[in-house]
């Protein structure tokens, strides 16, 4: 039995993780659950899965989360919290020597260098739950290409030429008629393929999600940003692919359902039957791909800028985006205001090196203040 703790258990990834636990009886024991504010649902889950340790982060605080993931009786921590609030608990889980199944991309975006260094020190694994990164992880299953095997030889995975992240493009892909100054919260949250939390759904519509995923992949797989491509693929059947130096590309396909990625992270290196729906390519009929429109979706360009500059700039971009998305969801900022805000905050930032926790936390706090100021001034 694998003993798991789920941070963010009442969110979309958390609920889907529990569905997998339920679908695979005898494989997992849930030893801890944490949610942010939804106490009622947290207690229901604790009762159903007979979990003794629960934390309500909104009430009990971050230290309680860190304490929960530091327990010795854990095999894997599922990190499905939203945003930078997950950073300290992730570091605590790593320090305690636990593998982390990882959905909170913001943490790797803002503090990738720090997290990967601590991970290597502790000798633990970071198993991707983001569907694109799970796909790449699955494409790299030749054990010599796995990040924690590669680092033993000190080499980068040099047989990898490019990682290609697929993007559904969100609800506005290919719709030149949509006015981004006026589009409503409801239209943005109506994602055509994936049912996800609100933050990631807005990020998906601006394509910031793909920008964050470039940085996530850069750290998770130790591949330079210049070797990470994005292609728009509205059907969301090909979840990403790897092209090797011999020109061969390996891709991973399934119907779009986040349980595939979660289950793989939890059962790796095994594959287990759990009654998931099968892909019927004849029924799908056609898969389409096109280059992203960075003029219309500037977040992708901003993310590349942040990735190339490195240092504190990715943390700043991430924090500004979190604040701007929240303002958009609260009706205080237009949809286009999201990337204008992020761009202005990034332009105002003086980049410095970013290897320790204080620098990350400071850059993050600075960007949040700055973004709030920009939003108050402009909108
Ligand atoms: Mg994704």
CA of 166 from ligand 1 middle (Å) equals 9
Output phi, psi for 169, to 5 deg: 90, -10
What is the distance in A from the centroid of ligand 1 to the CA of 169? 11
Ligand 1 centre and the CA of 47: distance in Å? Answer: 31
C-alpha 360 to ligand 1 mean position (Å): 23
Please tell me the distance between residue 15's alpha carbon and the centre of ligand 1 in angstroms: 17
Residue 268 Cα, ligand 1 centroid: separation in angstroms? 19
Q: What is the 3-state secondary structure (H, E, C) of 78-128?
A: EECCCHHHHHHHHHHHHHCCCEEEECCHHHHHHHHHHHHHHHHHHCCCEEE
Instruction: List residues, by chain if needed, whose CB lies under 5 Å from ion ligand 1.
Output: 130-132
C-alpha dihedral (73, 91, 302, 238), degrees to nearest 10 = -20
CA distance 29 to 132: 27
Instruction: Give, for all 379 residues of the chain, the pLDDT tens digit.
Output: 999 999 999 999 999 999 999 999 999 999 999 999 999 999 999 999 999 999 999 999 999 999 999 999 999 999 999 888 999 999 999 999 999 999 999 999 999 999 999 999 999 999 999 999 999 999 988 655 556 555 554 444 568 899 999 999 888 988 888 999 999 999 999 876 767 789 989 999 999 999 999 999 999 999 999 999 999 999 999 999 999 999 999 999 999 999 999 999 999 989 999 999 999 999 999 999 999 999 999 999 999 999 999 999 999 999 999 999 999 999 999 999 999 999 999 999 999 988 899 999 999 999 999 999 999 987 6
Cα–ligand 1 centroid distance for 332 (angstroms): 26
Q: Beta strand pairing status for 76-79 and 2-7?
A: parallel
Position 70 scores a pLDDT of 98
Q: How far is the CA of 131 from the centre of ligand 1 (A)?
A: 5
Distance from Cα 209 to the centre of ligand 1, integer Å: 7
- What three-state secondary structure class fits 279? coil
Q: Cα of 135 to ligand 1 centre, how many Å?
A: 10
- Tell me how long the chain is: 379
Q: Find the 355 Cα to ligand 1 centroid distance in Å.
A: 25
Cβ atoms of residues 187 and 170 within 8 Å:
no
Q: How many other CB atoms sit within 10 Å of the CB of residue 22?
A: 12
CA 347–ligand 1 middle distance (angstroms): 27
pTM of the model: 0.92
Question: Residue 136 Cα, ligand 1 centroid: separation in angstroms?
Answer: 11
Centre of ligand 1 to C-alpha 278, Å, is 20
| End-to-end CA, the chain | 53
Residue 62: which H helix or E strand, with range? helix 62-69
- Report helix, strand or coil for 36: coil
Judge contact between 324 and 334, C-beta under 8 A: no
- All residues at 6 or more sequence positions from 261 whose CB lies less than 8 Å from its CB, including other chains: 128, 129, 130, 131, 133, 134, 135, 239
Describe the strand order of the beta sheet including 228-232 as a list of residue ranges. Answer: 228-232, 160-167, 238-244, 249-253
Task: Measure 7 CA to ligand 1 centroid, in angstroms.
Answer: 18
The alpha carbon of 377 and the centre of ligand 1 are apart by a number of angstroms equal to 32
Using the mean position of ligand 1's atoms as its centre, give its distance from the Cα of residue 334 in Å. Answer: 24
Measured in Å, residue 378 CA sits from the centre of ligand 1 at 31
Determine the distance separating the centroid of ligand 1 and the alpha carbon of 361, expressed in angstroms. Answer: 25
* Residue 133 Cα to ligand 1 middle (Å): 7
Find the 339 Cα to ligand 1 centroid distance in Å: 19
Residues 307-344 as b/e (b if ≥16 CB within 10 A, e otherwise) read beebbbbbbbbbbbbbbbbbbbbeeebbbbbbbbbbbb
Strand partners, 4: 30, 76
Confidence (pLDDT) at 266: 97
Give the model's pLDDT for residue 359: 95
């Amino acid at each position: 039995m694998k003993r798991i703790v789920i941070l963010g258990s009442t969110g979309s990834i958390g609920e889907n993780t529990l569905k997998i636990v339920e679908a695979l009886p005898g494989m997992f024991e849930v030893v801890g659950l944490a949610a942010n504010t939804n106490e009622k649902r947290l207690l229901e889950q604790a009762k159903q899965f007979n979990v003794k340790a629960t934390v309500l982060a909104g009430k009990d605080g971050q230290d309680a989360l860190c304490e929960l993931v530091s327990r010795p009786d854990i095999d894997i921590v599922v990190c499905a919290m939203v945003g930078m609030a997950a950073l300290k608990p992730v570091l605590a889980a790593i320090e305690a020597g636990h593998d982390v199944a990882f959905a909170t991309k913001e943490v790797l975006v803002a503090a990738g260098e720090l997290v990967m260094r601590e991970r290597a020190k502790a000798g633990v694994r970071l198993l991707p739950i983001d569907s694109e990164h799970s796909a790449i992880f699955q494409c790299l299953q030749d054990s010599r290409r796995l990040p924690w095997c590669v680092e033993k030889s000190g080499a980068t995975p040099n047989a990898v030429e490019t990682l290609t992240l697929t993007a559904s493009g969100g609800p506005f892909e290919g719709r030149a008629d949509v006015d981004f100054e006026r589009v409503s919260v409801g239209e943005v949250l109506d994602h055509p393929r994936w049912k996800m939390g609100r933050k990631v759904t807005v990020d998906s519509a601006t394509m910031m999600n793909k920008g964050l995923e470039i940085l996530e992949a850069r750290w998770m797989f130790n591949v330079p940003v210049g070797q990470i491509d994005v292609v728009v693929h509205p059907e969301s059947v090909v979840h990403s692919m790897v092209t090797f130096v011999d020109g061969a590309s390996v891709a991973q396909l399934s119907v779009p359902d986040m349980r595939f990625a979660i289950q793989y992270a939890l059962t790796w290196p095994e594959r287990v039957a759990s009654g998931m729906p099968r892909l019927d390519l004849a029924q799908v009929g056609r898969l389409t791909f096109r280059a992203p429109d960075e003029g219309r979706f500037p977040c992708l360009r901003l993310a590349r800028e942040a990735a190339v500059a490195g240092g504190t700039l990715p943390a700043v971009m991430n924090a500004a985006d979190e604040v701007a998305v929240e303002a958009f969801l609260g009706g205080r900022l237009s949809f286009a205001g999201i990337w204008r805000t992020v761009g202005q905050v990034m332009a105002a930032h003086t980049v410095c090196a970013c290897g320790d926790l204080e620098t990350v936390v400071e850059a993050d706090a600075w960007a949040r203040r700055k973004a709030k100021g920009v939003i108050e001034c402009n909108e």
